[in-house]
A and B are shown apart, each in its own frame.
Chain A
């Protein structure tokens, strides 16, 4: 029964940040970071979320843990709606959702040793554990993420970027979470280190049966790791599909543009593919375009696109995937 329902169901999540109006009597304006996002994340699934800067992907990630309060909508995790949960109960539930951040060094306290950093969640949630027991668990976890347990007393600055990200992963996994939200976990790393961290995440996900929400601005990385991918544009999901299908048959013009914009590291293949550069840049979420938010940049814009908001639906020529576009 439990396995058939998704681990996480997000229903019409909205996050608007109020902004003080320019004059005293003016109305408050809203920065619409996330406007009406719904999706499911299944047990043991890696769900990718891709979008350009300012599209609201980090806000979405933080809202799942209620680090940011949603303005509306439901976040149902393991059958329990996290929205409106009193802090004490939220805290209990939240040990099952952990997060890995983008900047590996900035997300680690420089004054704490690696051992203390990784052990901190255990100290919060498992107060009955003895120091010896905690130390033992930390060493096991360090070994699991590819750090030498002998380095337990070192400080974050003594590690390289890739190793710091391993520390962040160890801290996230020590509580045996069900869901790990990874917000751009490899963006700050060099290519050769990026591959190491991606492989580590794939291994750990399989071993521990984790579900991952993997966020990145880089579609090639998201496609590498994900089972399904969601594409986000200006606070809304524009397309969701199985990873290979999304790449092979992108339905939304934005997804297509995003795929074509990725530089392919092979001049032969790079030369052979269609090149349609998207004009303009992502508009400000303070003042998003009407109806379909993509219409000012869309090469296939029609009259309908300026009048009606497209909803996320199954395209008529396919039985899989969801697209929010009037064309399909």
Chain B
């Protein structure tokens, strides 16, 4: 059974004169001890998807559809119920670790608070658990460093603190929104190795949002490709790299510079720009940049098709 099941999720934002749809009819599920990657470019709706799951949309945003976590409907649940889930059963790691830690409080204060709030521990017990948690993410001399302030840590260390904090209540799901984007490559490799290790040792499921297909290839089991708020393709990670079906996935994979390939200086590029969500468009959102575009693509909305097994694609082409 899946741990998190998202059905026909749509996210809208009210603007003074209009309404925009940031995510449309998205369905996916995360199984226990699975890493699902949501990949897309900026504005593709990947962050709004995870924010709506946790009820963290901006005040002018609202969502429709269904999100079931552990069998319970949590989309648009009231704040009290969500507060008991957030941080305890579902934890979140954000992109910028400095912006998500309070600069005025010691790491110990911020982390102890989580355990006191969610598990009713006293602060002495909690501190012990916090030190163990920091140890687990390989922070050297955790018992001393736990009393430091966030600015005394480097970027990679802060992200480790965020991961330790996310793990404190032994959540069954971690949502990580671009957790390594702000880090250097050598540090990114360390954090990815750590996430893989955690998944193996604790059976935690991870929903990883990223723009980097390299990161997806390194750690994900399944991947969901998004474009303009829509699902374009969903597949097992090996399949998507070996045999991408959707023209967008294909074009995206071709446009990444790959260090181990030697082929002239020019890249295969996708012409044009991603659609501006304020402009209403007809048909497939990728149609104006797609090399396989035909008449139906500009007039008829795309629908998800299931192509054997779990594989899903939203494209008018006959891809099977």
Closest to A269 in B: B260
Q: B274 contacts which chain A residues (CB < 8 A)? A: 190, 192
Tell whether, in the assembled complex, residue B242 and residue A191 are in contact, meaning their CB atoms are under 8 Å apart.
no
Tell whether, in the assembled complex, residue B184 and residue A217 are in contact, meaning their CB atoms are under 8 Å apart.
yes
Tell whether, in the assembled complex, residue B217 and residue A267 are in contact, meaning their CB atoms are under 8 Å apart.
yes
Q: B142 contacts which chain A residues (CB < 8 A)? A: none
Interface residues in A172-199 by Cβ distance below 8 A to B read 190-196, 198-199
Q: Which of these, B42, B193, B253, contacts A265 with CB under 8 Å? A: B253
Tell whether, in the assembled complex, residue A268 and residue B273 are in contact, meaning their CB atoms are under 8 Å apart.
no
Given contacts A196-B271, A220-B257, A264-B260, contact A281 B154 (CB under 8 A): yes
Given contacts A259-B259, A261-B189, A265-B258, contact A192 B41 (CB under 8 A): yes
Interface residues in A219-247 by Cβ distance below 8 A to B read 219-221, 223-225, 244, 247
Q: A194 contacts which chain B residues (CB < 8 A)? A: 255
Q: A46 contacts which chain B residues (CB < 8 A)? A: 265
In whole Å, how far is B267's beta carbon from the nearest beta carbon of chain A? Answer: 4
Tell whether, in the assembled complex, residue B266 and residue A202 are in contact, meaning their CB atoms are under 8 Å apart.
yes
Question: Is A307 at the interface (CB under 8 A from chain B)?
Answer: no
Q: B218 contacts which chain A residues (CB < 8 A)? A: 263-264, 267, 270
Q: Which of these, A191, A225, A281, contacts B156 with CB under 8 Å? A: A281
Q: Which of these, A244, A267, A279, contacts B237 with CB under 8 Å? A: A267
Closest to A46 in B: B265
Tell whether, in the assembled complex, residue B241 and residue A265 are in contact, meaning their CB atoms are under 8 Å apart.
yes
Q: A219 contacts which chain B residues (CB < 8 A)? A: 185, 259
Query: Complex Cα distance A190/B212, Å?
Result: 10
Tell whether, in the assembled complex, residue B188 and residue A261 are in contact, meaning their CB atoms are under 8 Å apart.
yes
Interface residues in B91-126 by Cβ distance below 8 A to A read none
Q: Which of these, A247, A261, A268, contacts B186 with CB under 8 Å? A: A261
Question: Is B213 at the interface (CB under 8 A from chain A)?
Answer: yes
Q: Contact mask B139-157 → A, CB, 8 Å, 1/0?
A: 0000000000000001111
Closest to A244 in B: B262
Tell whether, in the assembled complex, residue B41 and residue A277 are in contact, meaning their CB atoms are under 8 Å apart.
no
Question: Is A262 at the interface (CB under 8 A from chain B)?
Answer: yes
Given contacts A52-B184, A224-B267, contact A265 B256 (CB under 8 A): yes
Question: Is A319 at the interface (CB under 8 A from chain B)?
Answer: no
Tell whether, in the assembled complex, residue A52 and residue B217 are in contact, meaning their CB atoms are under 8 Å apart.
no
Closest to A198 in B: B267
A-B CB contacts (within 8 Å), total count: 136
Tell whether, in the assembled complex, residue B273 and residue A160 are in contact, meaning their CB atoms are under 8 Å apart.
yes
Q: B215 contacts which chain A residues (CB < 8 A)? A: 263
Q: B157 contacts which chain A residues (CB < 8 A)? A: 281
Given contacts A196-B271, A261-B186, A265-B214, contact A191 B258 (CB under 8 A): no
Question: Is B190 at the interface (CB under 8 A from chain A)?
Answer: yes
Tell whether, in the assembled complex, residue B258 and residue A264 are in contact, meaning their CB atoms are under 8 Å apart.
yes
Q: Which of these, B185, B193, B258, contacts A217 with CB under 8 Å? A: B185
Q: A217 contacts which chain B residues (CB < 8 A)? A: 184-185
Question: Is B270 at the interface (CB under 8 A from chain A)?
Answer: yes
Closest to B219 in A: A263
Q: B238 contacts which chain A residues (CB < 8 A)? A: 267-268
Q: B156 contacts which chain A residues (CB < 8 A)? A: 281
In whole Å, how far is B153's beta carbon from the nearest beta carbon of chain A? Answer: 10
- Of B156, B186, B251, B271, the most chain A CB neighbours within 10 A belong to B186
Q: A192-B289, A262-B185, A265-B253 are in contact. List 13 more A-B contacts (CB 8 A).
A: A52-B185, A53-B155, A192-B252, A196-B271, A199-B266, A199-B269, A217-B185, A223-B257, A263-B212, A266-B258, A270-B214, A281-B157, A281-B186
- A residues whose Cβ falls under 8 Å from a Cβ of B: 46, 52-53, 160, 162-163, 190-196, 198-199, 202-203, 217-221, 223-225, 244, 247, 257-270, 275, 277-279, 281-282
15 A/B residue pairs, CB under 8 Å, sorted by A: A52-B186, A190-B41, A191-B256, A192-B252, A193-B273, A198-B257, A218-B185, A220-B256, A224-B257, A247-B259, A262-B185, A262-B259, A268-B238, A277-B189, A281-B186
